[in-house]
């Protein structure tokens, strides 16, 4: 059995105010978050534009946690 | 202190723990124990994939094409337990070339035509009609086809466009020969790139298909396939079709498989950390000077790894600056590194500082 049975986790586009809250929580700038390209299939699906933040619901052995990716042009 | 306790309780690690170094050691040690030569296993396994050290290197170096690409295709729950339907899909998947379907053929170089005799039994198995073969051949644009009887096809090569009427007969023969060879290797049915497809079953009686060769985009188009649950061992293909998050999961999963099939047991979180690092930039970067290590922001960190002079020269020419926040740059200049207890910084609130100042002034006056 593979450790991550579900290949594509749930992606959610965050609004500007939500993104600011997340950045404040981690005491970081938005540009410091891991990136996702705007041409990425999941980003295209959400209609994300460069400068926005995407929230990803990851699953680690049953423990749910959130991961964030900052949309960059590409 | 409070932060440390919180962190230790919630995540099982102390605040400031050097998780990257621990992951590197945990992955590195079992990898040294792997035997270089354990490339293939003999046995009943019909699809052989690279495992062990070569596979680990393939993933970490982020090579564009894996040596043995593979796919696992799942199906809609409605049909996943119906063997007949799965078998029909299997024949749609596997790449079939015309040369696999024939009994024999005759070439005629005078007229540039060739008569192909088809194997009826094989046509029935793959559910291919002679008409479909003709269509596939016509699509190439280099030949004209005609049906002789229901299992024989006549193929006539078109004249090469660039050649004049007075072209030497020798080059004509060459042209016919090339055309005939390409006719025989035409993919008549199936998905290009998929060499073999094998049906297997899970414990809950649901069938799945394992393929040698990977082509997710085409496999998704087949009816009955669970579109968003195709597994490929090529992270680049997964990234193109499913996105970077799925590619990250694929990297971590593949690495886990490569290590555990060799008998070693490494906690999955080490691999997921490495996969996170490799996909940090939004694309897959390799571990090494062209990837993760070469993309670091700090000049000192890059110079401390490889090609020291090159990085220092470039940095001085272009006027780069370094904030000295990482580990290796602080080791380089002889400062305490920001890991573990070294991560703790002393800070005073501005208001408190002014209060202290006032108190000190008062004490002085007295």
In a domain, B106, yes or no: yes
Residue B109 has pLDDT above 60, yes or no: yes
Name the residue in chain B with its Cα closest to that of A57: B245
Residues of A with CB under 8 A from a CB of B: 2-4, 6-9, 11, 34-37, 40-43, 56, 60-61, 69, 72, 74
- What are the tens digits of pLDDT across the range B300-339? 888 888 888 998 898 999 988 888 888 888 888 888 888 8
In a domain, A1, yes or no: no
Residue owning tokens 């997921």: B272
For B131, other C-beta atoms within 10 Å of its C-beta total 12
Query: Could you tell me if B209 and B319 lie in one domain?
Result: no
Query: Could you tell me if B87 and B209 lie in one domain?
Result: yes
A3: chain B residues, CB-CB within 8 Å: 252-253, 256, 268, 271-272
B228: chain A residues, CB-CB within 8 Å: 7-8
In a domain, B356, yes or no: no
Residue range of the domain that includes B215 = 70-93+193-232
Give strand pairing partners of A10. Answer: A57
Residues in chain A: 74
d(CA B66, CA B149) in angstroms, rounded, equals 44
CA distance B90 to chain A (A): 23
d(CA B219, CA B91) in angstroms, rounded, equals 12
User: Which of A2, A36, A61 is the closest to B244 by Cβ?
Assistant: A36
Name the residue in chain B with its Cα closest to that of A70: B282
In a domain, A17, yes or no: yes
Beta strand B207-212 with A10-13 is: unpaired
Question: Which residue in B163, B162, B97 sits closest to B126, CA to CA?
Answer: B97
pLDDT tier for residue B2 given thresholds of 50, 70 and 90:
low
Query: Could you tell me if B100 and B181 lie in one domain?
Result: yes
Name the residue in chain B with its Cα closest to that of A8: B246
User: Which of B246, B252, B280 is the closest to A8 by Cβ?
Assistant: B246
Query: Could you tell me if B107 and B162 lie in one domain?
Result: yes
Name the residue in chain A with its Cα closest to that of B202: A1
Q: In the prediction, which pLDDT does A36 show?
A: 93
Query: Could you tell me if B131 and B145 lie in one domain?
Result: yes
Residue range of the domain that includes A43 = 10-72
Helix/strand/coil (H/E/C) assignment for every residue in B317-337: HHCCCCCCCCHHHHHHHCCCC
CATH number at residue B319: 1.10.150.390
Q: B89, B227 in Cβ contact below 8 A?
A: no
pLDDT tier for residue B236 given thresholds of 50, 70 and 90:
very high
Among B21-25, B29-33, B200-204, B346-350, the range of highest mean pLDDT = B21-25
pLDDT tier for residue B25 given thresholds of 50, 70 and 90:
very high
Measured in whole angstroms, the distance separating CA B354 from the mean position of its chain's CA atoms is 59
Mean pLDDT, all residues of chain B: 83
In a domain, A50, yes or no: yes
d(CA A73, CA B281) in angstroms, rounded, equals 11
Give B365's Cβ-side CA count (13 Å radius): 6
In a domain, B358, yes or no: no
For B177, other C-beta atoms within 10 Å of its C-beta total 13
Query: Could you tell me if B102 and B185 lie in one domain?
Result: yes
Mean pLDDT, all residues of chain A: 89
Higher pLDDT, B167 or B173: B173
CB contacts < 8 Å between A and B, how many? 69
Q: In the prediction, which pLDDT does B168 show?
A: 59
CATH number at residue B206: 3.30.70
Per DSSP, the residues of B52-113 read HHHHHHHHHTT-SS-SS-EEEE-B-TTTTT-HHHHHHHHHHHS-EEGGGSEEEEEEETTTTE
Q: What domain count does chain A have?
A: 1
d(CA A13, CA B19) in angstroms, rounded, equals 29
Query: Could you tell me if B215 and B74 lie in one domain?
Result: yes
Q: What domain count does chain B have?
A: 4
Burial of B96 (0-12, 13-18, 19+ CB in 10 A): buried
Q: In the prediction, which pLDDT does B34 show?
A: 78
d(CA B83, CA B199) in angstroms, rounded, equals 9
- What are the tens digits of pLDDT across the range B78-87? 888 888 888 8
Residue B195 has pLDDT above 80, yes or no: yes
Q: A40, A29 in Cβ contact below 8 A?
A: no
Q: Which ipTM score applies to this complex?
A: 0.94
In a domain, A58, yes or no: yes
pLDDT tier for residue A54 given thresholds of 50, 70 and 90:
very high
In a domain, A5, yes or no: no
- Across the beta sheet with B196-201, the strand order is B196-201, B207-212, B70-73, B231-232
In a domain, B366, yes or no: no
Which tokens go with B215?
């082509």
Candidate from A9-13, B43-47, B110-114, B193-197 with smallest mean pLDDT: B43-47
User: How large is the C-alpha radius of gyration of chain A?
Assistant: 13
d(CA B187, CA B154) in angstroms, rounded, equals 18
In a domain, A57, yes or no: yes
In a domain, A4, yes or no: no
CATH number at residue A57: 3.90.940.20
d(CA B286, CA B275) in angstroms, rounded, equals 10
User: Which of B228, B240, B256 is the closest to A8 by Cβ?
Assistant: B228
Name the residue in chain B with its Cα closest to that of A44: B243
- What are the tens digits of pLDDT across the range B127-166? 788 888 888 888 877 788 888 777 788 888 877 655 555 5
Query: Could you tell me if B223 and B185 lie in one domain?
Result: no
Query: Could you tell me if B78 and B143 lie in one domain?
Result: no
Main-chain phi, psi angles of B321, to 5 degrees: -125, 160
Main-chain phi, psi angles of B75, to 5 degrees: -125, 165
Mean pLDDT of A32-47: 91
User: Which of A4, A7, A61 is the closest to B242 by Cβ?
Assistant: A7
């Amino acid at each position: 059995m593979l450790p991550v049975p579900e290949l594509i986790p749930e992606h959610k586009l965050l609004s500007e105010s939500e993104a600011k809250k997340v950045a404040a929580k981690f005491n970081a700038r938005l540009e410091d978050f891991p990136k996702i390209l705007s041409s990425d299939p999941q980003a295209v699906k959400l209609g994300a534009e460069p400068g926005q933040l995407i929230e990803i619901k990851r699953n680690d052995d049953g423990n749910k946690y959130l991961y964030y990716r900052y949309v960059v042009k590409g | 202190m409070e932060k440390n306790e919180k962190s230790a309780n919630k995540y099982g690690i102390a605040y400031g723990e050097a998780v990257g170094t621990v992951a590197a050691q945990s992955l590195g040690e079992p990898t040294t124990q792997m035997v270089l030569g354990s490339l293939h296993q003999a046995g009943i396994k019909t699809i052989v994939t690279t495992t062990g050290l070569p596979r680990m290197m393939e993933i970490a170096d982020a090579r564009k094409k894996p040596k043995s690409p593979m796919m696992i295709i799942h199906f809609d729950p409605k049909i996943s337990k119906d063997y007949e339907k799965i078998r029909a899909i299997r024949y749609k998947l596997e790449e079939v070339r015309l040369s696999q379907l024939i009994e024999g053929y005759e070439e005629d170089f005078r007229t540039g035509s060739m008569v192909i005799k088809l194997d009826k039994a094989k046509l029935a198995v793959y559910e291919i009609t002679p008409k479909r073969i003709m269509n596939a051949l016509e699509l190439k644009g280099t030949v004209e086809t005609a049906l002789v009887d229901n299992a024989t096809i006549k193929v006539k090569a078109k004249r090469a466009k660039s050649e004049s009427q007075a072209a030497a007969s020798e080059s004509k023969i060459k042209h016919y020969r090339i055309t005939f060879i390409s006719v025989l290797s035409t993919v008549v049915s199936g998905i290009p790139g998929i060499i073999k497809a094998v049906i297997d079953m899970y414990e809950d009686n649901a069938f799945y298909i394992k393929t040698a060769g990977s082509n997710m985009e085409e496999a998704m188009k087949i009816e009955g396939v669970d579109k968003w649950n195709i597994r490929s061992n090529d992270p680049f293909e997964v990234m193109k079709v499913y996105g970077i998050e799925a590619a990250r999961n694929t990297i971590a999963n593949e690495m886990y498989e490569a290590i555990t099939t060799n008998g070693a047991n490494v906690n999955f979180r080490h691999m997921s950390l490495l996969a996170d690092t490799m996909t940090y930039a939004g694309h897959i970067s390799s571990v090494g000077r062209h990837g993760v290590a070469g993309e670091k922001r700090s000049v000192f960190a890059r110079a401390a790894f490889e090609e020291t002079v090159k990085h220092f020269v470039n940095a001085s020419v272009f006027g780069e600056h370094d904030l000295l926040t990482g580990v290796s740059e602080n080791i380089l200049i002889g400062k305490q590194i920001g890991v573990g207890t070294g991560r703790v910084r002393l800070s005073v609130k501005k208001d408190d500082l002014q209060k202290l100042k006032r108190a000190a002034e008062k004490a002085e006056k007295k």
